[in-house]
Structure 1
Amino acid sequence: MAIDSAIRRADTGSRAGGDGFANLAQAADWYDRWLRTQALPLWWDAGADRQRGGFFEGLSIEGQPRPAPRRARVQGRQAFVYATAGVLGWDGPWREAAWHGMDFFLDRFARPDGLFRTLVGLDGAVLDDTAMLYDQAFALLGTATLHQADPRGGELAQVARGVRQGLEAMRHPAGGYRENIAHPFQANAHMHLLEGAMAWAELGGGEWEVMVDEIVEMALSVFIDPEGGFLREFFDAEWRLADGEDGRLVEPGHQFEWAWLMDRHAKRRGDSRAAKAALGLYAAGRRGVDPARGVAVNELWDDFSPRDPTARLWPQTEHLKATLLFDGEIASLAAAQVLRRYLETPTPGAWRDKLRADGTFVEEPAPATSFYHILGACLELFKATGR
């Protein structure tokens, strides 16, 4: 079977032992081997649905597919992963894998207005035709990355323009965009839209720079608390802080994600306000790192007391990305070591998603959506070590 061959190819000697990384170069070596010889082969061999198209939502911890209705974001993220693998020079079938996800996405999720629906069934039938900002963001990121790696006839640029034009219908009169969920006025969807728009802007699209500037301004003037310098999550229709517990939510992982994006923008555009905001966001995120376990927890209250001590995988990836930018080698090595713990599984290339407060992992499938986050951490680690 293909999955067995992928596991046999893995360099078991690179699996983490009890000792920590000696330096960032050693950490980068480990993550590079894990990515190229374990994760990328596994999620193509076992994570791609050869019968129905696209990528599965997840794999069991033993590396077996877990069929479920398909979300648009999974296809966009996996196309991003394999297109990025091509940019990194992976010698596997990155082009076939990336277009496997992208072709399925374009065929099954496209709506007539240029936007993409959120959910289809295993049989390809539309289960939810809603256009969510979150999904459009990964349509932009996936198309930009694949266009960079393998532009073919340039059709993905036209797809992205269709998304941008379709998003005009989702603009909110008071600024920004309205998400089609129970919390329509939120920072998170804008964060991912910023990442997608920035990916296209970096390919030379001036019209995308306008979108980037608008979202950055929303972050600086609305999403980031003016006194505390940390990111708020939910708002009302006038972009005032939401009432009750929703308004008090602070997510350390999002502090790190926004810090990384604001720093990226600051360096691209020489924006001193964004640079200052990035430092404040990183400091806020660090307040959500549990000293006992070394993990970034899921949620805090706005006084920085614990709200949800569970630690999902994705905040650890964003912690590592931000720490490599804003902190020293000791902190970065600690973050890299913590993330490695989530990746030490019976099937090399799979991962665990939730660490409980007592230090044990929840036994559940590995979500495909996490690969995007893990790869982002790997990219920042490779950049920091000159790869």
Structure 2
Amino acid sequence: MSETVARERSGHTAAADGQYLYVWGGYVSVAEHEVFLPNDELWLYDLETGLWLRRGMSGTVPPSLSGTCGCIVNGLLYIFGGCCDDGQTNELYSVDLHDGAFSWKKLEPQSGSPPSPRDKLSCWVHKGRMVYFGGYGHKLRSDIRDPKSFAVDEASWAEDVFWGWSSETHEFDPGSRRWTEPQTFGRAPAPRAAHASATIGSKGFVCGGRIKETRTCDVFCLDLNSWTWSEIVSCSVSPSGRSWHTLSPVSDSALFLFGGLSEDCRPMSDGWLLDLETRVWARKEHPHEDKPRLWHSACPGRDSDVIVFGGSHDYILLVDKAMPGLHRKPFQCVSVPDPVFTTQAEARCGEPDQQNITEPIQNRPVIRFIRSYCVTLYFTVSLIHKLHVLTDDITVSSRAAIYIN
């Protein structure tokens, strides 16, 4: 029997468009081995019926990836970058979500040069174009022109190839297939990866992430018309530093931050609302703060909903990344077994594919999907926002593997 819900995962791509949430890629750990999830399938979650649909994919299928950057532009899902078995990549793929064929295309640039290979980056969509920021990846020594925009990881290099964190901004126009690196103004954020980003109108926001050996929760805004950076300095107590968290727009003047990995490598479950007009952070308490989550996805839904899917939590072990490009020992964590915000639950159950399960029966997760876990949060007097948390395992946890970066 085939699976009827998307399997637990971390480091995946998720994007919402119209009636559906689309989920692709990522990975888990099975029997202490890293397992990329199939690259030739796309999962659709119907926001109206609460059902999962699986669609097989064809064409020039991307390699199995984690940490890629995905977005939807004019009905096409684009993924850029990410990490596969061969390391970071800078390839760009697209798939039409509406023609029913679900056939991948690899997009070769007609002009300009793509960013260097990287993963754990972010992107904004503006005027039909994709704007990419940051990430962790590698460059040739001769290509490192500005140390302010590429911070070398002193522990990761091989001959003339250096790994590090980026603060570069690159734009891709899918119409002309042209890459550009626009000149920006103002003080740009420090190079970082595993940060969070969000778009409101013509402004792109960046929050936190890993900067060398530290994690921060600073907030910067890039005006996507003038290419001018500005820092949003908080007028209140701010969330602690973190990476692998999410940032979602919930109104024209508010951003919602959730989860992540703390400065001392603890998975987190706190929620914060940033009022962009007053520059005040407000902590949003909830009854499931014992259910941390990191490297999940969070997508704006309808009516200011935030749709959270996947991610990992629990035990964190540091990794040895002194040998880039080689197999690195992962730290172990556990796929989130419970919803974060709960007032009502309606479960839809399916059974996993017996042929693809290698774990002992007693350790196998019970696959369940929670259709409408939600709570009403009063973020302002006049606005009601709901956080919907999707999970496919509400009783028994299963392991997932991710790398520190």
Q: What band does the TM-score fall into relative to the shorter chain?
A: 0.3 to 0.5
Structure with greater proportional strand content: 2
Instruction: Normalising by structure 1, report the TM-score.
Output: 0.36
Relative contact order, higher structure (CA 8 A, sep 6+): 1
Structure with greater proportional helix content: 1
